[in-house]
Structure 1
Amino acid sequence: MTAEKIAFQGEPGAYSHMACRQTHPELEPLPKPTFEAAIAAVRSGEAKLAMLPVENSTYGRVADIHRLLPDSGLFIIDETFVPVRIQLLGVPGAKLEDVKEAQSHTVLLGQCGKFLAEHGIKPITGADTAGSAAQVARDGDPTRAALASELAAEVTGLEIIAPNIQDFSHNATRFLVMSRQKVEAEPGAPKVVTSFVFQVRNVPAALYKAMGGFATNGVNMTKLESYMVDGQFTATRFYADIEGHPEERSVRLALEELAFFTSYVKILGVYPAHPYRDEIG
């Protein structure tokens, strides 16, 4: 029997933990050390779902996720967006002027570089955000701080020295909810996202021709990412998100044309578009 848990990569207090709370508060968050371990937890039945980050509006795509998704054995059943509000966390009683170094994941360090430079704080790379907060709490040094979430402060007992220090107010991370069971949005749903991966044939202008069907059929492609397969420069796969359901005529025709110019196409999920897309549209 599958446990009523949702797996995520990181430690308690991570932004992925926040995404789990926000989207599936009825499930027990299950921290895992790697993305592979979070996926494996769902495949084995240890967890019902996995929460995986795919991209950040400031930093870009999350490394390795696109490579893991096609062979994960899981399906995308939903998406969510978590606004990244970065807090400068210190030991109780510490003040901003005390802080000389701030530790966090390199992604988060890159999202508040202006604040750190302005206050002369040296960035220190840590394994992850919540783990950095836990280490600062253990060390008890008022000159060392962590960059993490408000939830991480709650979990570790640190205090927020400076709130919301991210460089961009619209900063957000997109997460995918993964399941062993294929659960697709209804064809008549108002706003649907279809995610898939494909590999083009080795013919001239194959990518251009493969993409042509989406343009001629009026299908909006909201994301197209390339990544190498097995470290080979000649084997490039693409990850794509489009608006619409595969059973809609326009999408069906576009995918048929795509198949003609590709050697591999795999639909990863057909799921409801999150309302946050309208806020940033």
Structure 2
Amino acid sequence: MSSYSPRAATLVEAMERAAAANPLAAVAFQGAPGAYSHQAVREKYPDRPALPCVTFEDAIETVQSGRAGLAMIPIENSLHGRVADVHFLLPESGLHIVGEHFVRVRHCLLGLGPRDALRAVLSHPQALGQCRGRLRGWGLEPVAHFDTAGAAAAVADAGDNVEGAVASRLAAELYGLEVFAEGIEDADHNTTRFVILSRETVPMSAGTPAMTSFIFETRNVPASLFKALGGFATNGVNITKLESYLRDGRFSAVEFYVDIEGAPYEPPVALALEELAFHTKWVRLLGTYPRGRDRN
């Protein structure tokens, strides 16, 4: 509990008790109560207990151990790209991606009041960067904090009206702060995509638009990526995400994370995956799940 401020720790204890009473229904997330990951859980599963965790590894472990039925993990942001470490954690977790959810990130300027008393604002460096123009225009000094919701809790605990926070409206509600302004980010398309992890796969209903996520490693030969992905083009399968990353510091062993439209039981996808397997060292499916409505 020492990783949370006193006010956040009190909320965490209550949320942990609720999750322990019904662990299969609990949805784990990383961050303090009021984080955007918490908002994602509330939007997607409003009737299920949310379980805060200090790290992504902790959130994943709660599902592995059965202390939560699902985990809601951010994978990419429209402004900052992929979330660090998640591409390594997903395949090693042994869990399945069973869904996705998109959260429109609307930063709020929070404080104890009055508004004209503010001189500085706390928040995660990314959130501060996303609001740089507005904060500079207001003459407010940005102060880095490890977490947006944690910053809101710290302001509430300190009881000092000179410092405010940039965080979600949910954080304001949880910590009793006033919302001075909402939607203060400089870009109006700030959206985070979350994936939902489970120990078990979830059957797809017939006709449901699907996404499939997988990783693979190319062979160390010329045009290996071109050959590996050729089957998706010839079979008309749309690739919506393709990212490369290195593992274990080996520059000759490049792994790729891929999202495609469709499911392995659909003939075009099955043929594309068969060709992919022929031209790669290995392929590991991470999950097939319903396409998020915000993709439309």
Please give the residue correspondences for 1:1-281 in structure 2 after superposition, counting only pairs within 5 Å: 2-91=23-112, 93-95=113-115, 97-186=116-205, 188-278=206-296
Q: CA deviation at 1:69?
A: 0.3
Q: Is the 8 A contact 1:67 1:227 kept in 2?
A: no
Does the CA-based 8 Å contact 1:89-1:148 persist in structure 2?
Answer: yes
Q: Provide the identity percentage.
A: 54
Q: Secondary structure at the match of 1:219?
A: coil
Cα distance in 2 for partners of 1:117, 1:155 equals 27
Contiguous gaps of at least 5 residues in structure 1: none
| Amino acid of the structure 2 residue aligned with 1:117 | R
Shift of 1:144: 1.2
- Cα deviation, 1:16-51, whole Å, max 9, x if unaligned, reads 111111111222110000000000000001111000
Report Cα offsets for 1:1-24 as digits up to 9, x if no partner.
944211000011111111111111
- Does the 8 Å contact 2:220/2:252 carry over to 1? no
- Which residue identity lines up with residue 15 of structure 1 in the other structure? Y
Deviant stretches of 4+, over 4 Å: none
Q: How far apart in 1 are the matches of 2:208 and 2:95?
A: 24
| Number of aligned residue pairs | 275
Unaligned runs of 5+ in 2: 1-21
Equivalence for 2:7: none
8 Å Cα contact 2:236-2:268 kept in structure 1: yes
- Normalised to the residue count of structure 2, the TM-score between the two structures is 0.89
For 1:160 and 1:9, locate their aligned partners in 2 and report how far apart those are by CA, in whole Å.
24
1:89–1:133 Cα contact (<8 Å) kept: yes
CA distance 1:185–1:110, change in 2 (3 Å): farther
CA–CA distance in 2 between the matches of 1:134 and 1:82? Answer: 21
- Partners of 1:25 and 1:100 lie apart in 2 by 36
Q: Aligned partners of 1:55 and 1:61: how far apart in 2?
A: 4
Which SS does the other structure have where 2:91 is aligned? coil
Residue 19 of structure 2 corresponds to: none
CA deviation after TM superposition for structure 1 residue 63, in Å: 0.8
3-state SS of the aligned residue for 1:270?
strand
**Over aligned residues, Cα RMSD in angstroms?**
1.4
Q: For residues 225-264 of structure 1, what are the alpha-carbon distances to aligned partners after superposition, in whole Å with 9 as ceiling and x for unaligned?
A: 1111123322221111000111111111111111111112
Q: Comparing 58-67 with 109-118, which one deviates more in the overlay?
A: 109-118
1:195 aligned partner, one-letter code: S
| Residue 184 (structure 1) shift | 3.9
- How far has the Cα of 1:89 moved from its partner? 0.6
Structure 1 CA distance for aligned equivalents of residues 207 and 51 of structure 2:
31
The AA in structure 2 aligned to 1:267 is: L
Measured in 1, the distance between the counterparts of 2:151 and 2:122 equals 6
